[in-house]
Amino acid sequence: MKGIILSGGTATRLFPLTATTSKQLLPVYDRQMIFYPLNTLIKAGIRDILIIVSSEHSGQFLNLLGSILKNYGVHLFFEVQKVPKGLAEAFILGENFIGQNNVAMILGDNIFEDDFSNDIKNFKSGGKIFAKKVKDPERSGVVRFDKNNKAVEIVEKPKKWISDYAIPGFYIYDKQISEIAKKVQPSERGEIEITSLHNYYLEKKKLEVGIVKGEWLDAGTFDSLLEAGNIVKNKKLYKKFDPLINQAILEFNEELKTIARKKLL
């Protein structure tokens, strides 16, 4: 299993904060947002991770993550997405990286309380996505279940009510996903929709939908960014990081302090 974190885009809803840095490099309580999706993948044992970034912020990601995990057996790779063309484009950009492996992709601004380690480790083939009951499902892709709790319909940002179950930004797919993504026709808004990939596997009866029970935080607005920090603090989610990440951050911090002291001499 390989991992992808999609961290491109311009995040216009967070201007002026994102006028100078990427949304995924903004702080959520005591660390940058990007460490939360990294934790989701690393806790599940994934050690090869591709981070897709925008060209204007690529240097900032390298400054933070370029060497921070190199001594811990985690290999980070970077791919520049010049123009965002939809979430599913990540599987096209990452085709060579994925190779003949299954892949788990998480959006760089999605923070989860749940631990998906078993879902990742037990995945064999097909696709697996997740659903979370929310008050405003129309902001995301939405999945409808039948009376047997089996997924029967998936719609991207439906104009009429489908169900209360939104699809968070975490997906697991088999090695076919890049070829499938390349065949998807852009939607009316010119994007390669991730929903098209979900529906492909749904029609083939190869899609499993799990339920997210804990917090799902999509830190894409001022209010949700503030809320994410408060929830991380109050629920002590910052204490649930893989020790590997905590040690890497501690070592990185000490290195930065040493450099800063030398500059003052």
Percent of all residues in the chain with a pLDDT value above 70, rounded to a whole number: 100
Q: Using one digit for the tens of pLDDT, what is the confidence trace for 146-199?
A: 999 999 999 999 999 999 999 999 999 999 999 999 999 998 888 899 999 999
Give the pLDDT of residue 201: 98
Q: Indicate the burial class of 128 (C-beta count within 10 angstroms; 0-12, 13-18, 19 or more).
A: buried
pTM for this one? 0.95
Which domains, ranges and CATH numbers included, belong to the chain? 2-130+167-182+200-264 (3.90.550.10)
Give the pLDDT of residue 190: 85
Q: Are 182 and 90 in contact (CB under 8 A)?
A: no
Q: Which of 114, 140, 136, 92 is nearest to 44 (CA)?
A: 114
Question: What's the distance, CA 220 to chain centroid?
Answer: 13
Residue 193, by phi and psi: left (phi above 0), alpha (psi -120 to 50) or beta?
Answer: beta
Q: Which tokens go with 24?
A: 């995924």
Give the pLDDT of residue 210: 97
Three-state secondary structure call for residue 203: helix
Q: Using one digit for the tens of pLDDT, what is the confidence trace for 202-246?
A: 999 999 999 999 999 988 899 999 999 999 999 999 999 999 999
Token pair 């929903």: residue: 195
Q: Using one digit for the tens of pLDDT, what is the confidence trace for 46-79?
A: 999 999 999 999 999 999 999 999 899 999 999 9
